[in-house]
Amino acid sequence: MQSQPPEFMPPPRPQDGAPPTTPVAAPPYAPAAPPYEPQQPPVAPPFVPDPMLAGPPEGGVEPFAPPSEAWRRVSPKLTTVKRISSSIWSFIVFVPAALILWFVVPPEEPVRWAGPAWLALGVAWWVWRWFRAKRLVASYGWARRDKDLCIVGGLWFRNLEVVPFGRMQVVKVSSGPLLRAYGLANVELVTAAAATNGIIPGLPADEAKALRDLIIELSDAEGSGL
91 and 108 in a single domain? The answer is yes
Instruction: Convert the pLDDT of each residue in 100-137 to its tens digit.
Output: 988 888 888 888 889 899 999 999 999 999 999 999 99
Query: What one-letter code names the amino acid at 6?
Result: P
25 pLDDT higher than 80: no
The predicted structure's pLDDT at residue 127: 96
- The verdict on 87 and 76 lying in the same domain is yes
Regarding whether 153 and 78 lie in a shared domain, the answer is: no
| pLDDT reading at 2 higher than 70 | no
11 within domain boundaries: no
**CA atoms in the 13 A half-sphere facing the CB of 101:** 15
Residue-range definition of the domain harbouring residue 180: 142-226
pLDDT (0 to 100) of residue 190: 85
Is 178 among the domain residues? yes
What is this structure's pTM? Answer: 0.72
Give the residue-averaged pLDDT of 94-101. Answer: 91
162 and 225 part of one domain: yes
The 10s digit of each residue's pLDDT in 51-66 is 777 777 776 556 666 5
End-of-domain residue from the set 88, 113, 139: 139
CA distance 225 to 39: 32
Q: For the chain, give the percent of residues with pLDDT over 90.
A: 34
- Average pLDDT taken over every residue of the chain: 80
Q: Indicate the number of domains in the chain.
A: 2
- The Cα 133–Cα 155 span in angstroms is 10
Q: Are residues 217 and 157 in the same domain?
A: yes
Task: State the pLDDT at residue 218.
Answer: 82
Distance CA 132, CA 87 (A): 13
- Assess whether 126 and 180 both reside in one domain: no
Closest CA to 212 of 176, 180, 185, 178: 185
Q: What pLDDT score was predicted for residue 223?
A: 62
> Is 52 among the domain residues?
no
Measured CA to CA in angstroms, residue 139 lies from 25, 94, 116, 122 at distances of: 83, 28, 35, 25
pLDDT of residue 47: 59
Classify residue 22: in a domain, yes or no. Answer: no
Distance CA 57, CA 74 (A): 9
Give the type of residue at 165.
F
> Measured between alpha carbons, how far is 181 from 82 in angstroms, rounded to an integer?
13
